[in-house]
Structure 1
Amino acid sequence: MAADMFSKALEAQILQTAEIVEEQLDAEIQKLDEVDEDELEILKQRRLEALKKAQQQKQDWLSKGHGEYREVPSERDFFQEVKGSKNVVCHFYRDTTYRCLIFDKHLTVLAKKHIETKFIKLNAEKSPFLCERLRIKVIPTLALLKDGKTQDYVVGFTDLGNTDDFTTETLEWRLGCAGVINYSGNLMDPPFQSQKKFGATFTKLDKKSIRGKKYDSDSDDD
């Protein structure tokens, strides 16, 4: 008897919920019906303009060399590349340093994903003036630039968990912390595969240290 009463009460509650949802849907449909053709045309035009603007921006980025990870042949070319893009990630590498190949692998993936940012590499041995000017002392180092100015560095793999096995998502998160890519994840929650694996180096970040010089690395040369 008690089970029957419970069943009927549950059925009544489900029906009541369904009626409420149906009323909400009816209200939304009525609201759409009340929108006149002029308003619909305005909304349509705004949407088309937004899509057109986004497509133009994408083509502009691609014309400037975004969307692929490329090597810059000289220091002079570096300044020209940086001048033409708002966000730039530059990998200072050396042929004899194995860990530079690890960065190459991840940056190739991120260049295709984040076309809003230019990804380039420069041979540190052929760029003594630039390395001195930017204080590049550890190879590999990523210089992160915004509007032609260096904002941050990823020095070695210290910021990535002190391991050669860091994921592309981890590097993506680190670049997001510097604001040089459009990062859609939670910056306060690093995507490390295992916090224990990386020891006590990383904890939840506070807002004051998530950007800028307070988040520098001091990795050793290879």
Structure 2
Amino acid sequence: MANQMDILAKVLEESARMVEEKVDAELSKLNEMDEDDLERLKEKRLEALKKAQKQKQEWLSKGHGEYREISSEKDFFGEVKESKNVVCHFYRSSTFRCKIVDKHLAILSKKHVETKFIKLNVDKAPFLTEKLRVKIIPTLALLIDGKTKDFVVGFADLGNTDEFTTEMLEWRLGCADVINYSGNIMEPPTMTHKGTKITKVEKKTIRGGTYDTDSDSEDD
């Protein structure tokens, strides 16, 4: 036991030394900069901020930043083609659990402006629901570059509970790379409900294959 503690202490000490050396190197680099270097650094960062702001405005102009309902299948194809990342909630008004999903997606749409969040009534989209094999409501189709990359079907991936958190759904969307997730993909948020603890889940695609929205006039 003592030997293990000694090894751990040495590992921690080495890690701390490496971090300290990295910080010292960065500080040394800053100290060696003259006014011209600092000005160029400032301009570079300002340019990056301007670029990020421009990108955000472009996303907002395309309907990002809010959770919206679209009225038809035709609208779906148009929405998907103009945005890189899209989360589409296939819902039915009579299904209570769809309202639970609505609540979480409304929050995430404001947090993840890089992604478009929309919803479509399955009763108005018979072609799409057949094409994407949507059989369980609610189902979330996660699309990247016009192709379905993943699906969240019901609440199975969210702990099999109506009381899953927004953070849990955010993590699940992050597993599909459809949002910019800043947490640890390998570890879902911890949540316990009626004795059921959500544990580590492998990053995977629920349904095999992809669906290219460019082929909307063809059947497989």
Could you tell me the TM-score, scaled by structure 2's length? Answer: 0.79
CA contact (8 A) 1:141 1:156 kept: yes
Q: Distance in 2 between matches of 1:87 and 1:31?
A: 38
Match of 1:211 in 2: 204
Q: Structure 2, unaligned stretches of length 5 or more?
A: 1-19, 209-220
The correspondence for 1:153, drawn from 136, 139, 151, is: 151
Structure with bigger gyration radius: 1
Q: Separation in 2 of the partners of 1:44 and 1:63?
A: 29
The aligned runs of 1:27-176 (5 Å cut-off) are: 28=27, 32-176=30-174
Cα displacement (A) at 1:197: 2.9
Alpha-carbon deviations, 1:156-211, whole Å to 9, x = none? 11111111000000000100111100111111111131287335xx5323xxx403
TM-score (normalizing by structure 1) = 0.78
SS of the residue 2:54 aligns to: helix
Contact kept? 2:88, 2:120, Cα under 8 Å:
yes
Q: Report which stretch shifted further, 35-44 or 118-127.
A: 35-44
Segments ≥4 residues shifted beyond 6 Å: none
Does the residue aligned with 1:187 lie in a helix, a strand or coil?
coil
Contact 2:90 2:119 in 1 (8 A): yes
Decide whether the 8 Å contact of 1:162 with 1:198 is kept in 2: no
Q: Which whole-Å deviations, capped at 9, do the CAs of 1:84-134 have from their partners, x for residues lacking one?
A: 111100000001100000000000000000000000000001100010011
Q: Which residue of 2 aligns with 1:198?
A: 196
- Residues in 2 aligned to 1:89 and 1:95: alpha-carbon distance in whole angstroms: 18
* C-alpha RMSD of the superposition: 2.2
TM-superposed CA distance for 1:33, in Å, is 4.7
* Same amino acid, percent of matched pairs: 68
